[in-house]
Amino acid sequence: MRKMYALTLLLILNLFIAGCQPLSFVSSNVTSGEEEQGYNEDLLTMVVPYDSGGGTDVFARFMTKPLSNHIENQPSIQVENVPGGGSITGTNAYVNSYDKDGTNLVTTSASTHIPYLLDQSSVQYSFDELTPLVGAPTGGVVYGSADLNIKDGFDLDQVKEKLFYAGMSPTGLDLTTLISFEVLEIDTKAVLGYEGRGPARVAFEQGESNIDFQTTTAYKQNIEPKVKDGKAVPLYSLGQIDENGEVVRDPQFPDLPTVKEVYKELHGVEPKGQAWETYKHFLNATYTLQKVIWVHESAPESAKEELKKAANTLVKDEKFNQEASVILEDYEIYSQAELENRIDNLEKNMNEDTINWVYEFLLNEHGVDGRKL
């Protein structure tokens, strides 16, 4: 009887072990399948460090759908606005408080890049902590009042009256334009503190300033009609930085000379020196790399690769390019390789001489101590 009991127990034990083996095998297969799936998220968050309704917010919200369409699982991408500090608050929060698991993205703009490049004490983020996914440029045009009695930027040395410029902040998007004045040796009085480029344009229209700039869309919509009516004169475009780090004409304004061309016409030689190198550097950071979507550098490789692949696919997506023409101002987004190369060069070219030059320029010309920002 005891032998029968023992045999029965042994048989049950063997059956149990045999039954467990397939379960273990199935479990192993499930794990392998999950690894093969890699990035498989249903919801992503896009942090926008600005208020809703602004240019960067509009860009980010537009990009959520086409980006999602090219991610394997087509997750929903939810925009979360975290404004404050000219975008510093939200970007700091992104690197410090948001999970680095590949489910959180952030969209930055020129006013995010400049404080980082100036090494402002309030900045807690670094490009080294971020992996770029999507990048897009914008452009800008400097124009003057018809009352200046000149035809274009090549005649700037013939201006007889004092030039007045209305702007927002010397450490924001205005910085590149202000440096262009310095490069060209244009004696301009900058009146800063306006709430936006719109109010600055109104100041120009009311005669409070006689030299101004607007970004691509605003210039085409609001200034080109004034040029046709003889009330404004285009002087030069801020240009773009090409893959070799040189200033070239903006493709949206192929007939307008660049700062480089105007300088050569006015002075007989090409620009050089620290002011010129600084101008090129900030032109790249504020216009050629105007909008960038990033993910945490420490996110899982599978997540980063899937997001990069999705972003790169957008470059060849004809439907996207057609729909994006208004939002992107007829510019094109960069390929992944081109974007990474431009950001690498941006950081490599930012040196102590450039930072010190900007600090001295801000302090001496605009009364702003950049070291205390």
Indicate whether 12 pLDDT > 50.
Answer: no
- List Cβ neighbours of 262 (8 Å cut-off, separation of 6 or more): 153, 154, 156, 184, 235, 236
Identity of the amino acid at 5? Y
Which has the minimum average pLDDT: 25-34, 157-166, 245-254, 361-370? 25-34
What would the two tokens of residue 174 be?
A: 């205005």
- Does residue 35 form part of some domain? no
List the beta bridge partners of residue 106: 47, 294
The string of pLDDT tens digits covering residues 335-371 is 999 999 889 888 777 888 999 999 999 999 999 988 8
| CATH number where 255 lies | 3.40.190.10
Both 150 and 223 in one domain: the answer is yes
Q: With beta carbons less than 8 A apart as the criterion, state whether 116 and 347 touch.
A: no
Is 130 found in the same domain as 255? no
Regarding whether 218 and 96 lie in a shared domain, the answer is no
71 and 114 inside one domain: yes
Report the predicted TM-score, pTM, of the whole model to 2 decimal places. 0.83
**What average pLDDT does range 79-97 have in this prediction?**
95
Q: Is residue 108 part of a domain?
A: yes
DSSP assignment of 292-303, as one string? Answer: EEEEETTS-HHH
Q: Are residues 271 and 338 in the same domain?
A: no
Give yes or no for a contact between 202 and 229, defined as CB atoms under 8 angstroms apart: no
Q: Which residue has the higher pLDDT, 372 or 31?
A: 372
Do 175 and 265 lie in one domain? The reply is yes
Classify residue 345: in a domain, yes or no.
yes
Q: What is the pLDDT of residue 344?
A: 87
Q: Rounded CA gap, 144 and 204, in Å?
A: 9
Burial 201-233 (b: 16+ CB within 10 A, else e): bebbbeeebbbbbbbbbbbbebbeebeeeeebb
Helices (H), the chain: 2-37, 55-69, 88-97, 110-117, 174-184, 197-205, 216-218, 224-228, 259-267, 274-283, 301-314, 318-323, 336-348, 352-366
pLDDT tens digits, one per residue of 172-206:
889 999 999 999 999 999 999 887 788 889 999 99
Reported as a single tens digit per residue, the pLDDT across 211-226 is 999 999 889 999 999 9
* Assigned domain for 111 exists: yes
Q: Residue 281: CB partners within 8 Å, gap ≥ 6? A: 117, 346, 349, 350, 354
Backbone angles phi, psi at 245, to 5 degrees: 80, 15
Q: Closest Cα partner for 294 from 42, 90, 55?
A: 90
Is 282 in the same domain as 182? yes
Residue 250 and residue 116 share a domain: no
- The domain that holds 57 is classified in CATH as 3.40.190.150
Q: Are 90 and 83 in contact (CB under 8 A)?
A: yes
Residue 10 has pLDDT above 70, yes or no: no
**Residue 314 belongs to a domain:** yes
Inside any domain, residue 90: yes
- pLDDT-based confidence at residue 244 (cuts at 50, 70, 90): confident
pLDDT of 7 reads 38
Residue 284 has which token pair? Answer: 């790249």
200 in the same domain as 248: yes
- The answer to the question of residue 319 being in a domain is yes
Do residues 253 and 317 both lie within one domain? Answer: no
The pLDDT assigned to 304 comes to 97
Q: For residue 17, is it within any domain?
A: no
For the chain, the domain total comes to 2
Residue 264: domain span: 140-286
Domain match, 275 and 158 both: yes
Cα separation, 31 vs 40, in Å, equals 14
Residues 219 and 254 in one domain: yes
Amino acid at 237: S
